Structure 1
Amino acid sequence: MRLKALFIFIFLSNLCYAQNDKIDSLKTFSYKELKNKFYNYYENIKTDQSKIIAQYYLQKAKKEQNTLQIADGYVLIHFNENLSNALKYLDSTATVTKNLKGTKYPSQTYLMKGNLYYKHDNLKKALDNYILGLQYAKDQKDQKQTAYANMDIAYLNSYIGKNADAAKTFRYYLYNGNDITDESQHNQMRISLIYCYIELNKLDSANILIKEGLKTPLAFTNKYVHHQYIYYVGAYNLKLKKYDIAAKNFLAAYKYFSGVQDQNMNYSLLNIGKSYEGLKDKTKAVENYTKLDSIISKSGYTFPELRDVYTFLIDHYKENNDKEKQLYYIERFLKVDHKLDEQFKYLSTEIPRKYDTPNLLQEKENIIGELKMRKKILYLSISILFLVLIFITYLYYKTKKTEQQHRKIAQDLIISIEKRDPEPAKIDNVVLISQVQIPKQIDIENKNQKTISEDVAQFILKELTTFETKELYLKKGITLASLAKSIKTNTTYLSEIINTYKGKNFAAYLNDLRIDFALNRLVKDKKFRSYKLSVIAEELGYNNEQAFSLAFKKKTGTTLSMYIKEIDSLNDSQNNPN
């Protein structure tokens, strides 16, 4: 529940805030100015900018062979690294400063390591390093490093419940640290003291400090600091049992802290749950506690109040006879309990134990027994789901195979069109008049046993050539009768000529002309490809897009969308050969 400072108090006394966020030419800045810019970016969660500053700082120091500044450069870089890498950078700091005398090192190195371990929930190592840092600071009579070490240890006292002792340290440096703490550190002393006062039920004192802090310039310019105070407004109202107001404050804090992935989001979630507990809204309390557990299980970060969370969840699911979740939270409780007992030996005796560990272990075994029957049902369900999955997989691969076939057909069509001789060509069974040898006479077996003379046949074929070359087949509403009328012949002659010379009936002949036109134009005309399906269908003379789609698929064996997609893909590959 305690909100630790964004910056632990180990910074240089000359730390201040750069007002200009824009990274100008870094060569014009001194080391002091670069540090100011780094901490300004870092404190405002501008990670990328702070990394740039840190890297440049170290490069500058190495180039100038400035040992102290090289060490400071490693310190700056470690802030944005994970635990393993950060420790390596601090080890580098220790290496380059081992022969330096009369500096803040090695005290600062140990305090930095302590902060890292604190951040990653290893309080034993944190305390070990804080004590080492304090010893070196005292040996060197470094007042500032001594103060920073005292403040860090005060955080541990507060964390394990010794808030009265911690409050003494925070109060001292809040009112007597003008020569030691800067604006940010001074503000953090106020926030830390607010926490202690709330825990000690000194609510009036806490309220005064909260109001004072909200009026500071830092609370107006720094969102992180502002939301720290919003959190404590919630904590103050929670103590007063003003649960509605508290919930709103904690929700606002959670929204911000989760956005910057700060550990304070865990404490916010904890207290959102407590607020809903106070409002008797178990559903929302469970929702937030469950969300908190999800985060904790991934990060491994623990704090004492988690025991209250898990006992609440265990009781809740026990009341609802949900054995599986009850078992899960018992196991989570035991895991957290083990870690707390390991890391917080002093704290473990002060936390009310609602569940005795041996009893919980026995209850765990009982639940496991009750769940055995459920496993049989679970296995059956899994088997059914497996069969369904196999069926879905079959459908998926069948669809993919069909898609591959359509793609291959589309690719072959595109290639054939691109290679096609500019002279009239055969399109499947469509044969143009210039390629046809017309017999001198055609016998027509109709009911009157009439014959079509050579002149009539030549005339009709010539008219069909005109019909094709002028692309008259693209007009809507063309029928055998309307075409026969337009070329001044009868439907019997026209139908027989088309069947004999084109090798298909009139409907197929008209469809093939339109589809062949579409195949060619789609390849050559990018704008035409961009039209909606309904517009393309209308341009080709179809009454609706469904009729065109069916005709296209029946004629080509692929879909229009696949054909267009492959055209675009081929064009992209030609335009971008690499």
Structure 2
Amino acid sequence: MPKQNKNDSLKKYSVGDLIRKSYSEKNPKIYCDEMAKRNLSDKDKMKYYRICGEIYYLEILNNFDKSVQFIKVSNFYAQKERDFTMYANNLNMIALIYALQNKNDLALSCLKKKRMYESRDKSNIQELIFGGDEGLVYGVIGDFDKKIIGYIKAIKDLDDYLANQKKIAPEIILEINRAKREKYNSIVDAYLLQKKLDSAALYLKKIKSLPLSLNDLDSEGIRDSEIHYDILSGNLDGAIEKANKDLNEFRDDKITVFYDSYYLAQAYILKKKYKISLAYCEQALKSKQISFGFINHELELYKIAMQATDKMEDEKAYLKYSRFYEKANQKFDYNSKADFIAKLYNLDQIQPLKYELNNSKHFMTYLWLIILFLLLFTTYLINRFFTLRKYKKRFIEINARLEKKEKEVAIAPKKAEEVIKTDKNILSLKKENEILDKLNKFEKKQQFLSSTLSLSSLASSMNVNYNYLTLTIKKYKKNNFNGYINQLRIDYIILKLKQNPEYLNYKISYLAEECGFSSHTVFTRIFIEKTGIPPSKFIEYVKKENTKVNI
């Protein structure tokens, strides 16, 4: 008997079955492909294109443009069917995709359009259950207050429905309480991202008080929030215990593996156990998922891996993860959130905010704090103004020095005879000229870019005496060996930045490696020492200079 073709076996399913399987099975594409072969009604096409956009192109392929394209086609059919609930829901999903890409203006524009199609019917239980979904978008953007307010209102609407309906089916009550659980958890997430731990704890208690079974209360989102809470409150051992238990119980669930491994990597990096943290980073990245929240967990994992490998002094691995981070960041444009996330996990700064109890107290204390803040901020602005003016002056001086240096290079390098006024030198003029010639060749070949370069290795490669080389560098380069090499490296990278625009988009760590420094930190310190200006600010000035030239 011939083996049955897998595609033939799908023919037994109705369109409704295929739609359900697309949401529940791991590979929705085979069900979408089968639907595409069917003669679908406009209503089914609306659902088909939504599934393709949301489940396949967004969640699996992370192709934002294709995802938006398919969801817009779904909305074409939603309008034909006059299904404005689906139309509004699709607009919310498009807004979420824009927010993930930091296209906040487009996201907010979609939300504004969505409100025009929302129903105001508070008796429609399905709309109430999905109420507050704009909070997802506000959460990604970082407007946590709007996210919280939206979900609190949505919960109140559900409570009002429960209070006003005389008879409600038990399955509807269960669905409402599950919806409240998810909305409470979204509020917890918003408070955790603001380090308002008291408020987060309050809403975690509200979740536990819901009339739900233990299985319903033990959802993946709640477990993640509890682990996140433990990390921020400094209970790292508690977070590790919960994450490991969760990981062992749901090891076959790719999403659970991703998030639990992320939290374990985060907890262990804070415990300074770098090797273990890196192992969990790698485990999470094998199961990586798109993150529908303010934190992009994939990028955070790359950052944790970079920190761990840096502490382990594994330069090769560090560079690998920094390249992964840079590539992924081009898709998500995550830099604007990086500082916020870094502060979020700085345990020294975590202070639970008991704002519910203190709102009406200590008015004068707050007033004086505000006045002090304004004074400090004004001082900061004044200091910033003079610092930037100093940086700008140094930038102009660097340009002038480089132009002068380029002119001098065009002229034959000075020989020792032209510099020496007397023959009372330790070295003969002939020997000095010989060493100077070798140093000129060394500079032209850019051999100073080697990170393993040392005075002894340079003397050996030139076949000159170690002490003679030291004296010649000090006399004619007006520097010691390290100062001389560092100046050559800084001049090299400055010319690269000015002559090759692509260098302006590279990470500081890559620039450091490019010109021979062992680390981002050493490079930054030497760059400031030699130029008087941080490398990031120098890059900013070069970009502005290039813009003026292009105009």
**Normalising to structure 1: TM-score of the pair?**
0.44
Structure with bigger gyration radius? 1
**Normalising to structure 2: TM-score of the pair?**
0.46
